[in-house]
Amino acid sequence: MINHHPPLELLFDYAAGTLPEPVALAVATHASMCPACRDEISAVEALGGALLETLEPVAMSATSLDAVLARLDEPEATPVTVSAARAASGVASFLPGPLRRYLGEVLPGGWDRLPWRRVTRSLEELRLPMSVQGFKASLMRLAPGSTVPVHTHRGQEFTLVLAGGFSDETGEYLPGDFACKDQTHVHRPVVDTDEPCISLVVLDAPLKLTGMMGRLVNPFINRM
Amino acid sequence: MSTAFVIDDLPLFPFRAGAQCRGRRAAVHGTQAGARVDNDRLCDLIEAVAIHQDRKAFSDLFRHFAPRLKAFGLRQGSDAATADELAQEAMLAVWRKAATFDRSRASATTWIFTIVRNKRIDMFRRQNRPEVTLDEAAEQVSDEAPADDQLRWADAGEVLREVLATLPKEQIVVLQKAFYEDKSHSVIAEELNLPLGTVKSRIRLGLARLRQALPEEQL
């Protein structure tokens, strides 16, 4: 049961197509795990369709239909994506669909086979390539029972739990749960003790760590 | 509900329509006002493109949708040539992706909206669009009933249009900006000189009204 969802405005902006790619990735991945949010997105898309019908049509250029008809048999510039083919073949099926295209040629074998980069003793990270600047999107793997240094945020931080879980002042977060923090939050997540916690973390500005430990770790995490 | 209506600029086609459609829309809402867009007919045209690569059907879809897609492009601030190009690219995507259309999950217009939305992201933002998927990784997490969550929106177009007509103007303005002008909530708030919370609540209210308007039997 998913208890923590993206706020409605994020679902709305995702459905309207106005979110930057990294935030859209977090929302799409959550929605792939959450029927309730899929429904919310469908509602907004239906609204988008209804609004489209209310627009006064504007005449197309005279040659436009012929121009498009002439292109119908062109081969597609971007054929069905590799990720779609991979998804169909079941490779990397432990990953929710939206994440697959970002992880290259991942072999089956679960989370351990991903090319993690160690940041601290308890934290490993895997940066995801994004087509937009100013954001950082990563998979983060935190050791069982570890704590994340107390930190606030200069911008917004979106966290989607993929495996394991953590708790903070706002509750318990398990796979599918979505956390949304900004500069008004100071929080101290504690990872559940039985297994590592793997999350998709999207930052729209570098973290600002506040504690003593934070000052030590900051240079490592604070890479945009 | 008349069966012999001419829809906008669409010629009347001897389609198999109605018969295999679930016909819920007609049953639930009898308020057919004038020359309404007929979703069943548009669905048939998209399926004719998907199954038979039917160029005649595609041309009909083009005549109906392209001018609306161009209007969509103009609303977001493009010049006429760029808006024309957006509409053409979106229609080309309609041809290529027609097989992914599922009339039980979305109305024709809603599907077209998602196509032009993605084309806009592609053309103007030059970003990838992460798409929601339904797959086995998700299944492990979800213990709720899968799948049918989109059904009730497929036939909702008529209701949505009726409710839209009753929404206060300030809600419509916010919704239109959000959809057409490619702006996030916070940018809209700045432009309208409103607190972000007000923009959020207007959108929430708008969506809540739409939800209330959906008949229970569609749940």
Question: Per residue in B68-122, pLDDT tens?
Answer: 999 999 988 889 999 999 999 999 999 999 999 998 888 999 999 999 999 998 8
Mean pLDDT of chain A: 81
Asked, for residue B100, whether it belongs to a domain, the answer is yes
For tokens 């005649």, name the residue. Answer: B56
Question: Does A204 have pLDDT greater than 70?
Answer: yes
Give the 3-state secondary structure of residue B100: helix
CA distance A106 to chain B (A): 15
Containing H/E element for A168?
A: strand A166-168
Same domain, B171 and B118: no
Asked, for residue B105, whether it belongs to a domain, the answer is yes
Query: Residue B217 — pLDDT band, cuts 50, 70, 90?
Result: very low
B71 touches chain A (CB under 8 A): yes
**Cβ distance of B146 and A57 shorter than 8 Å:** no
ipTM at complex level:
0.81
Asked, for residue A82, whether it belongs to a domain, the answer is no
Same domain, B115 and B213: no
B contacts of A28 (beta carbons < 8 Å): 130-133
Give percent of chain B with pLDDT exceeding 90: 32
Same domain, B105 and B59: yes
Report the chain B residue with the minimal C-alpha distance to residue A84: B133
Containing H/E element for A36?
A: helix A35-54
Asked, for residue A83, whether it belongs to a domain, the answer is no
Domain span holding position A195: 111-221
Partner residue opposite B127 with nearest CB, options A45, A95, A131: A131
**Cβ distance of B88 and A68 shorter than 8 Å:** yes
Same domain, B9 and B74: yes
B56 touches chain A (CB under 8 A): no
B201 touches chain A (CB under 8 A): no
Are A157 and A175 within 8 A, CB to CB? no
Amino acid present at B96? R
Question: Does A110 have pLDDT greater than 70?
Answer: yes
Asked, for residue A53, whether it belongs to a domain, the answer is no
Containing H/E element for A31?
A: helix A21-33
B28 touches chain A (CB under 8 A): no
Question: Does A88 have pLDDT greater than 80?
Answer: no
Question: Does B137 have pLDDT greater than 80?
Answer: no
Identify the CA nearest to A15 among candidates A50, A57, A54, A55.
A50
Give the whole-angstrom CA distance, residue A199 versus residue A165: 9
Asked, for residue A144, whether it belongs to a domain, the answer is yes
Number of domains chain B contains = 2
pLDDT of residue B34: 34
Same domain, B113 and B219: no
pLDDT of residue B104: 86
CA distance A220 to chain B (A): 27
Q: What is the mean pLDDT of residues B44-56?
A: 96
CATH of the domain at B178: 1.10.10.10
A contacts of B146 (beta carbons < 8 Å): 35
**Cβ distance of A25 and B130 shorter than 8 Å:** yes
Asked, for residue B144, whether it belongs to a domain, the answer is no
Give pLDDT tens digits for B160-210. 777 778 888 887 788 888 787 777 777 888 888 888 888 888 878 877 777
Same domain, B171 and B97: no
Give the 3-state secondary structure of residue B85: helix
Query: Residue A105 — pLDDT band, cuts 50, 70, 90?
Result: low
Residues 93-132 of B with CB under 8 A from A: 95-96, 105-107, 109-114, 116-118, 120-121, 125-132
A contacts of B176 (beta carbons < 8 Å): 51
Domain span holding position B120: 1-26+33-128
Query: Residue A205 — pLDDT band, cuts 50, 70, 90?
Result: low
Give the whole-angstrom CA distance, residue B124 versus residue A202: 22
Are A156 and A181 within 8 A, CB to CB? yes
How many other C-beta atoms are found inside a 10 Å radius of the C-beta of residue A167? 14
**Cβ distance of A98 and B130 shorter than 8 Å:** yes
B contacts of A94 (beta carbons < 8 Å): 137
Asked, for residue A2, whether it belongs to a domain, the answer is no
Asked, for residue A150, whether it belongs to a domain, the answer is yes
CATH of the domain at A179: 2.60.120.10
Same domain, B112 and B195: no
